Amino acid sequence: MTEADVVVIGAGPGGYAAAFMAADLGLKTLTIDKEENPGGACLYRGCIPSKALLHAAKVINEAREASHIGISFGQPQIDVNRLAEWKREVVGQLTGGLGQLRKARDVQHIQGTARFVDNHTLEVEGHEGPVKFKHAILATGSRPVVPGPLAIDSKKVMTSTEALELEDIPGSLLVIGGGYIGLELGTVYASLGSKVTVVEMMDGLLPGADRDLVRVLSKNVHSMMHEVLLGTRVVEMVETMNGIKVTLDPAREETFDKVLISVGRRPNTENLGLENTKIELDGHGFVKCDAQGRTGESHIFAIGDISGQPMLAHRATHQGRLAAEVIHGSKAVFEPHAIPAVVFTDPELAWAGITEGEAKEQGVPHKVARFPWAASGRSLTLGRTDGLTKLILDPESERILGVGIVGPGAGELIAEGTLAIEMAATAEDLSLTIHAHPTLSETVMETADVFFGNSTHMAGRRPARK
């Protein structure tokens, strides 16, 4: 029989962070995961491989754009196998490193899939004897959703998992879903040479993000993609000799070499033996839990994608570390003021805290200040003028409630905004903090100046927009 103070089921960015924290707090900790090394979907099939491929896309695009400033490289020669191999090396290096960190912390690991036998016991496929625990952290993550009508048995239909394997570069690719996964992978394949068509059911890309930010991104998306079809549904897909014949609504028929389905992800909460515990699921398959992550069994915690939206690795990591601290006796709860969201397209789009759309919808009193990057010296030196930084502020206290950024490097810049929201910073705090010149981070400071109507690089006095 195996015993532990804390068993962590699933070793993704939530699970391994939880396990490491628990071990650092002196608890006897065990992880159970299908893979030998920690990483989960994020490292093996998500964030990390997609960012490696997006880096390749960036190199290709920047080399091409360089002709505008007098530097020409000619057509890039792309060795897909080498690119895929490099991506695997990156993943291998990171997950291997995590494996060593786990060993160094004396965290035990069992490779396999776990099931609850009762509320203090697990059985693991391929592992002899029960695993007994005092506390458990469920962190089994999520997987891509394939809606019924799109579920056809064909190698030419991919989810993000297969698309990241980069088996080949299809001549034409249909991306179903204009959310962040579809746009990121669409960018990769378009940069590598595929003719990419994006269909999105809603009448805008990136539902949930503010439209003024999306507009800046849309320009580039439209020029990079072969076509972007909004307000369009996929009615039927059939595999043919030449690829996948797709029927769209509004009526149209077209054949693509490959199709990528990126319409969302669902929590992995099946086959866990939850029926042998008091753990309950909600209507969407998420585990019901409180703000500390406690499930119906108060000694079993749920973190990350299985605990609700937004399904983001950094949220999982934070929750996982918190769950370990709670098990150790802390009274802390999960109460972030902001969870940053980043879309790694070109340009990147990121936001944190409340969006302008949410503020309007919820009737939160607010003012918005915007600073277009055409007025940023640093942006021009990068050969770019597309970008926008915006702040959503409380009109009374002038506190920063939300930050939205679109432009190259937005994913890094959003960190300052997130910190500002968490620290309850006011517009004046941002305005009075000296930002290095010339950097894109100055746009955050200058947006605060715009709020006061005295931005150095915006022509004229522009009082903040209501």
Partner 1 sequence: MATEFILPELGENIESADVVEVLVSVGDSVEVDDPILEIETDKASFEVPSTVKGVIKELRVSAGEVAKVGQVVMVIEESEGAAKEEAPEDDAPSSAEPSAQEERQDSDEQEEGQAEQEEPEAATATAVSEAPTESRGQVDLNREPEPPAEEPSSNGTSSGARQLVPAAPSTRRLAREIGVNIQQVKGTGPSGRISIEDVKNHAKKLLSGAGAPAAAASAPAAASVPVVTLPDFSKFGETKREKMSNVRRATANQMHLNWSTIPQVTQFDKADITDLEALRKQLNKRRAEGEAKLTVTAILLKVLASALKKFPQFNASIDMANEEVVYKDYFNVGVAVDTDRGLLVPVVRDVDSRNVKQLAQDLNEIAEKARNKKIRPEDFQGSCITISNLGGIGGVGFTPIVNSPEVAILGVSRASMEPVYHDETFYARLMMPICLSYDHRLIDGADAARFLRWVCEALENPALLAFEG
Residues annotated as catalytic (active site), given as ranges: 437
**107 lines the binding site for partner 1 (CB under 8 A):** no
CB-side exposure of 219: number of CA atoms within 13 Å? Answer: 12
Looking at beta carbons only, is 346 or 449 nearer to partner 1? 449
- Smallest gap from Cβ 324 to partner 1, in A, equals 11
Report the SS3 class of residue 345.
coil
Q: Assign residue 243 a region: left if phi > 0, alpha if psi is -120 to 50, beta otherwise? A: left
Q: Which of 76, 96, 208, 308 touches partner 1 by CB under 8 A?
A: 308
Q: Which of 72, 100, 240, 397 touches partner 1 by CB under 8 A?
A: 397
**118 lines the binding site for partner 1 (CB under 8 A):** no
**309 lines the binding site for partner 1 (CB under 8 A):** yes
**80 lines the binding site for partner 1 (CB under 8 A):** no
**104 lines the binding site for partner 1 (CB under 8 A):** no
Q: Which of 95, 160, 187, 307 touches partner 1 by CB under 8 A?
A: 307
Q: Which of 68, 82, 155, 331 touches partner 1 by CB under 8 A?
A: 331
**338 lines the binding site for partner 1 (CB under 8 A):** yes
Of 174-182, 258-266, 292-300, 442-450, the window that binds partner 1 (rule: CB under 8 A) is 292-300
DSSP state of 397: T
Report the SS3 class of residue 174.
strand
Q: Following CA atoms 170, 172, 173, 178 in sequence, which dihedral angle do they give, to the nearest 10 degrees?
A: 140
**291 lines the binding site for partner 1 (CB under 8 A):** yes
Looking at beta carbons only, is 71 or 424 nearer to partner 1? 424
**5 lines the binding site for partner 1 (CB under 8 A):** yes
**389 lines the binding site for partner 1 (CB under 8 A):** no
Cβ–Cβ < 8 Å for 376, 443: yes
Q: Which of 426, 431, 441, 455 touches partner 1 by CB under 8 A?
A: 426
Which two tokens mark 162?
């297969």
**399 lines the binding site for partner 1 (CB under 8 A):** yes
Of 207-215, 243-251, 330-338, 432-440, the window that binds partner 1 (rule: CB under 8 A) is 330-338
**423 lines the binding site for partner 1 (CB under 8 A):** yes
**390 lines the binding site for partner 1 (CB under 8 A):** no
- Smallest gap from Cβ 422 to partner 1, in A, equals 5
**296 lines the binding site for partner 1 (CB under 8 A):** no
**129 lines the binding site for partner 1 (CB under 8 A):** no
Q: Which of 337, 435, 457, 462 touches partner 1 by CB under 8 A?
A: 337
- Smallest gap from Cβ 125 to partner 1, in A, equals 27
Candidates 178, 212, 218; CA nearest to 405 is: 212
- Smallest gap from Cβ 178 to partner 1, in A, equals 23
Residues 176, 244: Cα–Cα separation, whole Å = 13
Per CB under 8 A, contacts with partner 1 among 231-290 are 286, 288-290
Per CB under 8 A, contacts with partner 1 among 154-193 are none
**415 lines the binding site for partner 1 (CB under 8 A):** no
**92 lines the binding site for partner 1 (CB under 8 A):** no
- Smallest gap from Cβ 269 to partner 1, in A, equals 14
Scan for tokens 């962040």, then name that residue.
180
> CA 455, 456, 458: angle at the middle one, nearest 5?
65
Q: Which of 2, 25, 94, 152 touches partner 1 by CB under 8 A?
A: 25
**298 lines the binding site for partner 1 (CB under 8 A):** yes
- Binding residues (CB under 8 A) for partner 1: these are 5, 25-27, 134-135, 286, 288-292, 298-299, 307-310, 315, 326-339, 353-354, 358-359, 362, 364, 397-399, 401, 421-424, 426, 428
